[in-house]
Structure 1
Amino acid sequence: MARQFIGRRRRIRRRVVLGRPLRNGWGPTATRAAVLGLAPALAAGAVLGAVVQNAPDSPAVTQAVSADTPFTFVGFGHGHGRGMGQWGAYGYSQEGWTAERIIAHFYGGTTLGTIDDAMIAVRLVGQDDKPLDVYSDAGLSVAGQRVGPGEAAHLTPNPDGGANVVVTQGCSGEVLWQGATDLPWVDPVDLGEDRPVNEHLKLCSGDATYRGALGVVLDGAAARTVNRLPAVAYLRSVVPAEALPGWADTGGAEALRAQAIAARSYALAEKRNEKWQTCDTTDCQVYGGSGTEDSRTDDAVRTTRGAVLMKDNKVVRSEFSASTGGHSAGGTFPPVEDLGDKVAPNRQWAETITAGEIGNAFGVGELQAFEVLARNNIGADGGRVTQVRVIGADRTIETTGAEARAKLGLRSDWFTVQEGADSAVPPSTPAPEPGPEVGIDPFGSGVGSPIEEKYIELGGVEGTLGVPVGPELMLPDEGGKFRIFTGGAVVWTPDLGAQVIDASFLRDWLPGAGSSE
């Protein structure tokens, strides 16, 4: 297996580190979580996020790279590269490809099917742990009563599934009436699909507008705001946030139609929680409410109405990212060459990072070496990095290329690395990028937790873990988090990643761990 090894050594004077020389390798030791007794309970088949190797007890003088030594990472593409490349779809659209042909190219092994337009429930993550404060220019309905134009409804969820309701004049005016309801939802004056803007519900904080109904529910003891609306209305806000509406003006209308199909399939395949299906951030798909709608992407949504990707009679969770760099990454969908990606403005890139920054990013102390251990053998230069080793004065970490990408802020995990600041990458013309990638890596920039990503990977509420019993909680040493489900538990630490364990073991180890109080 070919390796890429980078690290110029210099002698560090008067620094003694416990351990034998790193060239010979360190003996693996358990992390704090393992010391507490979690490691023996890790379920068979769980994926190890990172292997940590700490220094043993025999003294040795180590060598390190000077902290200001530059390393240049040269790479291809933007995003994880799984599924459809959005710039590739745009390039193919300009060549005359239809949306159906684009979809078939990137999502091999699937078929294009049609389903009736469904309702979808979206968690509004920015509203977490807050009451629901909402109004509408045309009025609204709550607790079986009409609320006039400009009057605001304030809902706080109750443990019994209902909510306390307070109605005020404006968002912060005098109280007009208050009470309780078993149905913690606020409805517009008309729940029809294509209603005018003045009927949309608005949040008091920021005036974001939403089609459909808004409700507030409890996730354990934490308040969550949920927007329930038809999938076609949801997609009218998602597609312009995830793609560039202006593509329709430059030969890219079919790319927008392909985006609508992929976004619909991804959302309808989501099963994040029994109370909501998906969320509104980069951890799911970006959704900003009706204020982000655009007539050009509206056309893409309407002309693909009900179209989804299917496999084994199920809707497929169809990931996508901005640029594949010329070749998709494989995984759920077979890897394919992406000739359409030639139009991507920054398909090849370079990033210079100092040794000190690399050492800090991985928490290994003074950097001694950065090694690329394995690649996926798809595309140029051996393809995407699948495994790296970061050697420092304090410890050594072996982890995935995806996590290395996230920790170093790289555009993708398809890169080579060389010592020095020089780069042979040709200059590129900056251009607007499509929205954030979908199906981000567990250690990426999204707000969703690695525990939730592991849960979704295993099927969500319909998977082996079942329904959550309580919220995510901190481990006693605050070195990680855990969450209990009816069919097991997931523990996460920065070193081990997200691991499935037996819930009964965790309950015995942490009495009351499943409580939401």
Structure 2
Amino acid sequence: MSKTEFGIRAGRTAWTRRRRYIAGRPVRRGWTSSVARVSALGIAPLLVVGAAGMAVHLRSAEPEIRESVASDTPFTLSGHGNGHGRGMGQWGAYGYAKDQGWAAERILAHYYGGTTLGTLADAQISVRLQGRDDQTLDVYSAVGAVVAGKPVGPGEAVHLTPTAGGGANVVVTRGCAGEVLWQDVTDHPWVDPVDLGPDRPPNEHLTFCAGDTPYRGALGVALDGAAVRTVNVLGMEDYLLGVVPVEAKAEWTDTGGAEALRAQAVAARSYAAAESREAYARTCDTQSCQVYGGSAVEDPRTTDAVRSTQGMILVKDNKAVAAEFSSSTGGFTAGGEFPAVEDQGDTASPHHDWAVTLTAGDIATAFGVGELHTFEVVTRNNFGVDGGRVTGVKVVGSAGTTEATGAQARAKLKLKSDWFTVGEGVGIPGEPSVPGEPDPSLADDDTVGTNPGSPIAEKYKELGGVNSTLGAPVGPEMMLPSEAGKFRMYQNGTIIWTEKLGAQVIDASVLRDWIPTGGS
């Protein structure tokens, strides 16, 4: 965790501040700067040091009175990465493949320490199709199918409803909504394609009447208590053909990232092989497991990645490893089952750094604490910059106090990851400098606030740099939402750049209109 020594001119008190932040000031009015608030109230800051870092509380000679932060007070949360950060970073894998020429095997060894490559024998997998929960199974095939041991003609639709004891009622119709051709009861609640072999052509795939979505393998129904479930059973390699293109980007192949897709195929195969969710289905088709889209999403580039790694899995102690992965690590993996490692490849990620602005009201509502008093990061995992990912927060409000993990805070605040820092106002939280003096940690070269080639830096230099009315920078250049442009905060204003506007000096209130007040 980085440290910066700084002092307060009044009294020249100096201390070491670490990046642990309590969002909250005892004010009920609208938003004003924290310096103005402390000055107006005549309250001296007291530093209380905890195990995870340093937090700022306010105290006066009078008994403590907790007052709420005005609900419209903005706080900027800046962070790194997108997802839980455990195991492989998908953008990082792409960066290593494209920029450093790493092969899939090296990528996997980097992210999944303590594992080796093994081979999975021919296997089937059963997948709960969660979007089909509590529905009957209504499917057809262009070349026909088999149900209850009987052939079904081309274009004829099969409708299955599960029964107690593991069977199903069968209705076959002409087309999905035509006349009933025959009915039956079966103890085999499955619709099978005309050929159950692997890698069958598209005209043999079973297709749902609702949405015309095709799937390889067989489709069946089961009861989960009284709830109806739809299950797809197929070969592991066929299954991966519908996983890799929705979990990664097939177009990475076109820009030198083919090895990242091969690594993704191995990780996805290993993860699926280690799954064991339900008695009726080993895995599911959503982010709760890993995303699977059926045969409609297949792409020749990801199909090549699957076939070129056929049977390859990650193993530890002779068992398949649940090889977790996420979109972007932000530059350092989260640790856990696999050792935390630096992820230099993640610089390729559009989510490597991010920022979002929330109000005190947003934070209080998310945690259900009434009016916000304080929002405190209490622990971090110490991997990477800014002290690492948040592992614990404490939120105090007029209706009570709650504590949560970093992952829970991420979910409640709808953040990209649990690796974030918090700062008051619309800006980027960071180590503060003495008012009126430049912060040398923000210098990009010999002139504070310059970044050669950056239109924002050029505009800043044109205006006079540190000696301009903008003053010193208070944060790095950051991306606007949806990569619409960039901005940088200074002591007395902000420079924003977009392709249409060019570089312009704006008021912070204008920037708040650009940055969403919800999660990202």
- TM-score, normalised relative to structure 1: 0.73
Select which of 58, 64, 70 maps to 1:66. 70
Determine if contact 2:246/2:297 at 8 Å carries over to the other structure. yes
Which amino acid is the alignment partner of residue 69 of structure 2? V
Within 2, Cα distance between the matches of 1:300 and 1:82?
22
Determine if contact 1:345/1:428 at 8 Å carries over to the other structure. no
Q: 2:232 matched to which residue of 1?
A: 227
Deviation at 1:177, TM superposition (A): 0.3
Within 2, Cα distance between the matches of 1:351 and 1:236?
36
Matched, 1:8 2:10: no
Select which of 421, 426, 431 maps to 2:477. 426
Q: Secondary structure at the match of 1:121?
A: strand
Determine if contact 1:387/1:399 at 8 Å carries over to the other structure. yes
Which runs of no fewer than 5 residues in structure 2 stay unpaired?
2-17, 30-63, 429-474, 484-520
Against the structure 1 CA distance between its residues 300 and 431, is the aligned structure 2 distance closer, same or farther, given a 3 Å change threshold? Answer: farther
1:475-514 alignment runs, 5 A limit: none
Matched, 1:338 2:343: yes
Q: 2:386 matched to which residue of 1?
A: 381
Deviation at 1:9, TM superposition (A): 1.6
- 1:359-403 Cα offsets, whole Å, 9 max, x none, are 111111111110000000000010000000011110110110110
Q: 1:481 matched to which residue of 2?
A: none
Q: 1:85 matched to which residue of 2?
A: 89
Against the structure 1 CA distance between its residues 225 and 425, is the aligned structure 2 distance closer, same or farther, given a 3 Å change threshold? Answer: farther
Which amino acid is the alignment partner of residue 74 of structure 1? S
Matched, 1:349 2:354: yes
Deviation at 1:75, TM superposition (A): 0.5
Against the structure 1 CA distance between its residues 392 and 323, is the aligned structure 2 distance closer, same or farther, given a 3 Å change threshold? Answer: same
Select which of 97, 103, 115 maps to 1:98. 103
Against the structure 1 CA distance between its residues 283 and 344, is the aligned structure 2 distance closer, same or farther, given a 3 Å change threshold? Answer: same
Which amino acid is the alignment partner of residue 69 of structure 1? T
Instruction: Tell which structure's C-alpha radius of gyration is larger.
Output: 2
Q: 1:244 matched to which residue of 2?
A: 249
Deviation at 1:429, TM superposition (A): 8.5
Matched, 1:183 2:234: no
Determine if contact 1:117/1:305 at 8 Å carries over to the other structure. no
| Higher RCO (CA 8 Å, separation ≥ 6 residues) | 1
Which amino acid is the alignment partner of residue 104 of structure 2? A
Q: 1:280 matched to which residue of 2?
A: 285
Which amino acid is the alignment partner of residue 477 of structure 2? P
Which amino acid is the alignment partner of residue 65 of structure 1? V
Determine if contact 1:236/1:293 at 8 Å carries over to the other structure. yes
Within 1, Cα distance between the matches of 2:277 and 2:211?
26
Instruction: State, as a whole percentage, how many aligned pairs show the same letter.
Output: 65
Q: 2:450 matched to which residue of 1?
A: none
Determine if contact 1:376/1:385 at 8 Å carries over to the other structure. yes
Deviation at 1:96, TM superposition (A): 1.0
Matched, 1:301 2:306: yes
Within 2, Cα distance between the matches of 1:430 and 1:264?
34
Determine if contact 1:80/1:329 at 8 Å carries over to the other structure. yes
Determine if contact 1:348/1:425 at 8 Å carries over to the other structure. no
Matched, 1:328 2:333: yes
1:380-399 alignment runs, 5 A limit: 380-399=385-404
- 1:245-266 Cα offsets, whole Å, 9 max, x none, are 0000110000000000000011
Within 1, Cα distance between the matches of 2:68 and 2:181?
69
Within 1, Cα distance between the matches of 2:244 and 2:482?
19
Runs of 4+ in 1 over 3 A off after TM superposition: 427-432
Which amino acid is the alignment partner of residue 341 of structure 2? V
Q: 1:359 matched to which residue of 2?
A: 364
Select which of 168, 184, 193 maps to 1:163. 168
- TM-score, normalised relative to structure 2: 0.72
Which runs of no fewer than 5 residues in structure 1 stay unpaired?
13-59, 433-517
Q: 2:414 matched to which residue of 1?
A: 409
Deviation at 1:267, TM superposition (A): 0.8
Determine if contact 1:345/1:431 at 8 Å carries over to the other structure. no
Which amino acid is the alignment partner of residue 269 of structure 2? R
Deviation at 1:243, TM superposition (A): 0.2
Against the structure 1 CA distance between its residues 431 and 314, is the aligned structure 2 distance closer, same or farther, given a 3 Å change threshold? Answer: farther
Q: CA RMSD in A?
A: 1.7
Deviation at 1:427, TM superposition (A): 3.7
Deviation at 1:61, TM superposition (A): 6.2
Matched, 1:204 2:209: yes
Within 1, Cα distance between the matches of 2:349 and 2:424?
27
Determine if contact 2:26/2:66 at 8 Å carries over to the other structure. no
